[in-house]
Amino acid sequence: MLTIDEAIERFESLSSDDKARVLGQVSYHFTIAGRDVSTQGDCQQQRDKLVALNEVQHKLAGQIVAILKNNSRYPDKDFFLVLADVSKRAGMLPYLQGALTKVL
């Protein structure tokens, strides 16, 4: 499984089109995390994980749009560190790393 640093290194070498494609695929694969939310923890923990899942999806979509429109956006490294932080706090970092590993 890729570490976040390894994913950043691979991602930074991609063209803009490939970056958008990769982030779209990460978003697709990361949705699997949502399927497991209802089976883990109590209601509050499930809610917290759903909020984090939504936040990661929101950030992925925003970054894809910014890349495709050639708008200003988070630097790649900062973006990945934010995704990793949100995912880690919700106990979902392995899902993010798994998605990154599949597409990079």
pTM of the model: 0.93
pLDDT tens-digit map of 64-90:
999 999 999 999 999 999 999 999 999
Helices (H), ranges, the chain? 4-12, 16-30, 32-37, 43-69, 76-89, 93-103
The pLDDT value given to residue 73: 95
Per-domain boundaries in the chain: 4-103
The pLDDT value given to residue 38: 82
List the CATH code of the domain at 4-103: 1.20.5
Which of these, 104, 98, 81, lies nearest to 29 by C-alpha position? 98
pLDDT tens-digit map of 18-70:
999 999 999 999 998 888 888 888 999 999 999 999 999 999 999 999 999 99
- Token readout for 91 is 């106990």
Amino acid at 8: I
- Token readout for 80 is 């990945």
